[in-house]
Amino acid sequence: PDPNKSEFHLTAQQGTSEILNGVESETLGYNGNILGPVIRVHKGEKVKVKMKNNLDEGTTLHWHGLRVDGENDGGPHSGIMPGETWEPEFTIDQPAATLWYHPHMMEKTAKQVYEGLAGLFYIEDEVSDSLAIPKEYGVNDFPLIIQDRKMDASDNMEYSPNMKDMMMGLYGNAFLVNGAIAPYLEVPKGLVRLRILNGSNGRTYDFSLDNSQAFNQIASDGGFLEKPIEKSAVRLSPGERAEILVDFSQYETGEKISLINTDSNVYAASASNDEMDKEELMEFAVTNKESGVNEIPEQLTEIEPIEPKSAVKTREFVMMGMGTTLTINDKQMDMTRIDEEVDFNATEIWEVSNQGAGKNGGMAHPFHIHGVQFQVLDRDGNPPPANESGWKDTVLIQPKETVRLIATFKNKGVFMYHCHILEHEDAGMMGQYEVN
Ligand code: C2O
Ligand code: CU
Ligand code: CU
């Protein structure tokens, strides 16, 4: 092995996990029965990954939010057949952020992610190294992968989407946090950092605390916000991440606070789809330990805005969902077709709108672009909310809404853009662009 390169080994494998009431469900994981290890890298680091596929079907390994060349991105062209190993290599060249990895096999993404294939990918840099924020993994800095799952009558977790799930994205009747239902997490007094990933197939959440306590959002998909943003709820659609700081200093030892979902349903179709008994995701129990961090920095980082004047082109993307026909610019994904050609190093504005056809005005779609981190210029002409003013790679677009994004395309190759509701992606709500 090259001593100048960090090597990570992942094996996609089958296993079983006790999800509900002791019933063993068949699940998939990287190096384990469900989910995968947190991969931690530093800006500037040279990374090599050996990804072995021990499944009985093809898969890929995509780095969601990571800026790498197309051939290392792990999109649908990078299929790994059963028994094969894929070895991408790249140098980390972007700010500290909480990213994630998951499969991206054509028509199999929803099922493979649902069954457990997903993991977090942390980038640290000189900014995160020097900030006085909680950063002790598992002590005051916790990953929270939130996913909903549909448990059947015999408490088994199986991917069997019905017609409605195919149309709207799958909505489950149970929430998993890091692969477990309603877990319990001991937290120290003081500030605690939660790195939240909405790794669900279809559901959008508004994350809140059950006592309505406010918290500070410090990072969005692609890294730190310039300043902490105080919020009492943070909305994340599938694929999006947020880092928040929660202050547990005012609680007695043993007190319990719950993380809940207060979103009643972002898609307009029907309220009755929500079969969830309770919207509680997990419980925090405050211990007598100290987190060691009690103050929130005023400034986190600096983000240079990308000037709209520097854009050489504006492209339009129109998302449309009509029953089971889901399109972007009236097209469905075709692996043999490049939809957009982008010049290497060009800055472009992407104007993404949601046509929202359907009887109740349609549903929201999270639009995700591979190979870049972008900035949100505006939503229907208005500046984005403060927590969307940093780096993003996925953005929720409401029916009839138009969102303008700006990005500089610094990596070459073929990349995807798609709706991150995984049933929609698999149904072809995806296109390809090539940077050259
Ligand atoms: Cu998170 Cu194309 O994916
Ligand atoms: Cu991605
Ligand atoms: Cu969609």
303-344 pLDDT, tens per residue?
999 999 999 999 999 999 877 799 999 999 999 999 999 999
> What fold is seen in the domain 308-435?
Immunoglobulin-like (2.60.40)
CA distance 16 to 142: 24
| Coil, helix or strand at residue 401 | coil
Average pLDDT over residues 94-118: 98
Whole-complex ipTM: 0.99
Written as one string, the DSSP assignment of 103-116 is ---TTTHHHHHHTT
CA distance 285 to 353: 43
* Domain extent listing, the chain: 5-126, 141-290, 308-435
pTM, entire model: 0.96
Q: What is the pLDDT of residue 119?
A: 98
> What fold is seen in the domain 5-126?
Immunoglobulin-like (2.60.40)
Do the domains at 5-126 and 308-435 have one common CATH topology? yes
| Coil, helix or strand at residue 20 | strand
| Coil, helix or strand at residue 283 | strand
Q: Which tokens sit at 245? A: 């700081």
Residues in contact with ligand 1 by the CB-under-6-Å rule are 62, 64, 102, 104, 239, 368, 370, 416, 418, 420
Radius of gyration of the chain (CA): 20
Q: How far is the CA of 416 from the centre of ligand 1 (A)?
A: 8
H or E stretch covering 217:
strand 215-220
Q: What is the pLDDT of residue 222?
A: 98
Atom of ligand 1 nearest to the CA of 239: 1
Whether domain 141-290 has CATH 3.20.20.150: the reply is: no
Q: How far is the CA of 16 from the centre of ligand 1 (A)?
A: 25
Contact criterion met (CB below 8 Å) for 402 and 349 = no
227-251 pLDDT, tens per residue?
999 999 999 999 999 999 999 999 9
For residue 72, report the phi and psi dihedrals to the nearest 5 degrees.
-105, 0
Q: How far is the CA of 55 from the centre of ligand 1 (A)?
A: 20
